[in-house]
Amino acid sequence: MLFFSKWKITLILGALMLGFFFALPNALPADTRAKMPGMFQRTINLGLDLQGGAHMLLEVDLTSVLEQALENEKETIRQEFREADRLRTETIRVDSENDAVIVRLRDAADSDRAFALLRDLSKPVDPTSISQDKTTRVEKLSEKDFRVTITEANIADIQKRTIAQSMNVLRRRIDPQGTTEMTIAPEGDDRILLQIPGAKNVDDIKSVINKTANLSFNMVRKESNNEAAMELARRPGSLSKVPPGAAFYPEEQGGGLIVERRTKITGECLKTSSEGLHPEGNYPIVNFTFNIRCARLFGDLTQKNIGQRFAVVLDGVIITAPRINGAITGGSGFIEGSFTLESARELSLLLNAGALPAKLVIVEERTVGPGLGQDSINAGKIASMIGLAGVGLFMWLSYGLRFGTIANIALTTNIILIAGALSLMGSTLTLPGIAGIILTIGMAVDANVLIFERIREEAHLGRPPVNAIETGYRRSLAPILDANITTLIAAVTLYFVGSGPVRGFAVTLAIGIVMSVFTAVVVARLITATWLRRKRPKTLPI
Amino acid sequence: MKDISLVKILPIEPKVPFISMRKIAAVLSVLAIIASIFLFTQRGLNYGIDFTGGTVIEIDTGSEPDLAKIRTVISDAGFPGASVQGIAPDASSTLDHDYVRIGIPLQPETEETGAQAQQIAMKTAQDALVANIDGFDGPQDIRSQEAVGSAVSGELRTKGALAVGLALLMVLAYIWFRFEWQFGLGAVIALFHDVILTIGVFSLTQIEFNLSIIAAILTIVGYSLNDTVIVYDRIRENLRKYKKMPLPEVLNLSINDTLSRTILTSMTTLLALVSLYILGGEGLRGFSFAMIWGVFVGTYSSIFVASPLLLLLKLKRGVNTGNTDAAVA
């Protein structure tokens, strides 16, 4: 146990050097650090609870996306049947409980043709993949009835795309310049984790998360100013008054209008938008430019409807409904409403970033201000230094200068290696993570204590120093491994089942355990062996 | 060089009759467990918002806060059940006056509010504070704010319980694999003992029970097991060495053999933890309290629960005592 071959010593020293170098950047000022080779520039990431910032868990409203998908499927089927020659349906309705659309034919004789048509509508979910999953499954319930079910694979695909799109939109909204170091990651099936370090105004962030920003330009129905609309504005529940193909939306300033449901001018038409001031009135407006396709569409629309009004609808609310005085062919315009500069800026940001495919709800929020974060760092620093000093002093008092120093070198090496490992892995140090390090300081000496106590015992049995140390190291290896593997099991469990900051604790604890075994069993043994070879002591100082 | 080493004070071969104290210890442990279960079922735990859901806002009012006024403002904002308390900052803090922690219980998630209920409550409370409390001007004066909805808190509860259960199970599997089944069972019973007593203490003191306490409990499991395994390992070794010695004596000898290590390691761990408890700040106080308790309970249970249990479980000798070094080396 006490013989180390040359290459082994080289390996151990090499590993230690590497650890030191990875830990070093944490102790250097930023400008010195920048001159180091890239690999050694990494420092420990501070968690949001230490540097301040916002942690939010957002739930994506996938149910509404699925409902929309069913509605679209229904529309597609209706369209196809209408276009098919003499293929009449009695009803087409959505059965949202079973994620299906139910089709009932007027004439049972059309059964085979309808079945074939519905089956043709089912496309591969992902044309590029080798899997045979189709978007829908068609069942014949009777000669006249069919059920078109959206398949599991399709639902999964819709959900995946919704989450991915939501994440893209969120990134563009919160960080339009791409300068913030924020994390956006999917979590579970229907959630998005959002972590924004140093967020100064969480309220602003929340306000851009809460808006879907669905924009559309809908023509106002001619009869819109009549009593039906007025009544709808008073009692929003009486939606049965809305004529087919139309929709009622409340106006921002009160009241409401009945508008055409269908429109081709939506938020996707916008190329850019920006806040600005009205050229005459000098009040805040939102300027926008359409893309080429929509510029032409909008030109045609306004040409045909001079004298009519169109409504600018944002998330189901009419912002403004101007009258068309002439054809607007330039492909640009502005929206005026009751904007402040602030709200105009926010709306143009939202429009630039695009609409969210689904509503997002903040189901968990943990925000730490910079003041608390700094306090936590200070407290953690002081607690670990005092803890380290206390344990170091205790080891010196207990084992004397020689063995106390060996244990303390192992302890210090351990801390440096933990810092090195954390920097290298790019893992995040959280407040509980600091607790993990301090706890490790206390428990790390355990392996050395076990070894030293064993050596003491063996010496007491009459073994000469070298033999006692040799036997001590050998016999304590099994208990050290057993004891630490069990703690490691607890730490790993905590990592996989735990969440958020607690994971940070599991990481530091696990690294600390591994490093403490390495420093006690390998590093301290090497030091002891070197000391033995140099001094050849007759008695042991412990 | 004159060397002091206080460890020489500790006897190499202490002869404390631990095993003969096992009956007293058993009575003590059983009573403590009954008391803990009684407390847990009758008084319950003071769950934090991780597990109950709800909102916690910590604000800095720029000077010593007027708690009575804040209480009225929060109550008038529609949260009569909220808690308002002033907290003194740590010595190392940048604050020189108390800050205020406002806890709003979980708001019902109605059809209208949906899962946004907690966010709405947080906003309402903050708006009321901005309007009525001098020195609180909104986001820049917030030290921290947390809002947890009912779905998330439910998941965290399940996950927490799962973590503790899973850890116990995996540890049982490991000990079983490395030792005989009596050891595995003995160790896990000792761990249950530690976990139950820790929950009991949290019920007794009503210290907030949150996610970090789950982390503490798992660490206690690890620490206590660490201790138990060291003693068990020595028992296994001594069983091989002293084939004729009666089991109770072997157990007692093994506990005494490892006693100095037990004391030293507990001391260093406690040193680090007490430093954390006193200096580590408000956020880690519950955690370090749990861990300090855990060190005591874990050490006690290794000596007085895990080892005597081997007698009760009728550990057989000479069956599986030959693989200590071989299996590791």
The minimum CA-CA distance between A75 and chain B, rounded to whole Å, is: 29
**pLDDT for the residue numbered B322:** 44
Shortest alpha-carbon distance between residue A205 and chain B (Å): 12
Q: Which tops the pLDDT comparison, A323 or A131?
A: A323
Mean pLDDT of A79-92: 83
In chain B, pLDDT over 70 holds for what percent of residues?
A: 94
Residues, chain A, total?
Answer: 542
List of chain A residues whose C-beta atoms are within 8 Å of the C-beta of residue B170: 489, 493
- Residue A538, helix vs strand vs coil: coil
Q: Which two tokens stand for residue B50?
A: 């991780």
Q: Is residue B225 part of a domain?
A: yes
- B200 inside domain: yes
In a domain, B1, yes or no: no
Domain match, B80 and B203 both = no
Supply the pLDDT for residue B129: 92
Residue B226 to residue A486, Cβ atoms within 8 A: yes
Residue B135 belongs to a domain:
yes
Mean pLDDT for B112-137 is 89
Choose the final residue of a domain: B96, B127, B148: B148
Give yes or no for residue B320 having a pLDDT over 50: no
Residue at B323 is within a domain: yes
- Residue B171 shares a structural domain with residue B311: yes
Q: What length is written for chain B?
A: 329
Strand ranges inside A86-227, DSSP E = 89-95, 100-105, 136-140, 145-150, 183-187, 191-197, 215-219
> Which tokens hold the place of B262?
């037990």
Question: Do residues B217 and B157 both lie within one domain?
Answer: yes
Q: What's B199's domain CATH number?
A: 1.20.1640.10
- Is the pLDDT at B292 greater than 70, yes or no? yes
Q: Which residues of B touch A491 (CB under 8 A)?
A: 218-219, 222
Residue ending a domain, among B116, B148, B180, is B148
Stretch B173-187: mean pLDDT, rounded?
87
Q: Does residue B188 belong to the interface with chain A, where contact is any CB pair within 8 Å?
A: no
Per-residue confidence (pLDDT) for residue A225, from 0 to 100: 58
Query: Ranked by mean pLDDT, which of A230-244, A338-352, B36-50 comes out on top?
Result: B36-50
Residue B281 pLDDT > 50: yes
The 3-state secondary structure of A30-46 reads HHHHHCCCHHHCCCCEE
Q: Chain B: give the shortest CA distance to residue A490, in Å.
A: 5
pLDDT confidence of residue A167 = 93
Higher pLDDT: B230 or A27? It is: B230
Averaged pLDDT for residues A524-530: 90
Measured between CB atoms, does B40 come within 8 Å of chain A?
no
Range of the domain at B278: 6-47+153-328
pLDDT digits (tens, 9 = 90+) for A324-358: 888 888 888 888 888 888 888 888 888 888 888 88
Q: B133, B148, B163 — which closes off a domain?
A: B148
Contact flag B268-A453 (C-beta cutoff 8 Å): no
Q: Do B146 and A485 touch (CB under 8 A)?
A: no
Angle at A368 between CA A363 and CA A369, to 5 degrees: 135
Q: Do B8 and A394 touch (CB under 8 A)?
A: no
Contact A352, A272 (CB under 8 A): yes
What is the total count of domains within chain B? 2
Q: Is B3 on the interface with A (CB under 8 A)?
A: yes
Instruction: Say what the pTM is.
Output: 0.82
What pLDDT score does A365 carry? Answer: 92
Give the domain CATH number at B117.
Answer: 3.30.70
Q: In whole angstroms, give the CA distance from residue B69 to residue A69.
A: 52
CA A510, CA A498: separation in Å to the nearest integer? 14
Set out the domains of chain A in order of their start, with CATH numbers.
Answer: 6-52+369-535 (1.20.1640.10), 65-151 (3.30.1360), 214-356 (3.30.1360.200)
Mark B31-58 as b/e (b = at least 16 C-beta within 10 Å). Answer: ebeeebeebbeeeebebbbbbbbbbbbb
Searching chain B, which residue's CA lies closest to the CA of residue A447? B265
- A–B: how many Cβ contacts below 8 A? 286
Is residue B72 pLDDT above 70, yes or no?
yes
- Per-window interface: B 269-328 vs A, CB < 8 A: 269-273, 275-276, 278-281, 283-284, 287-288, 291, 324-325, 327-328
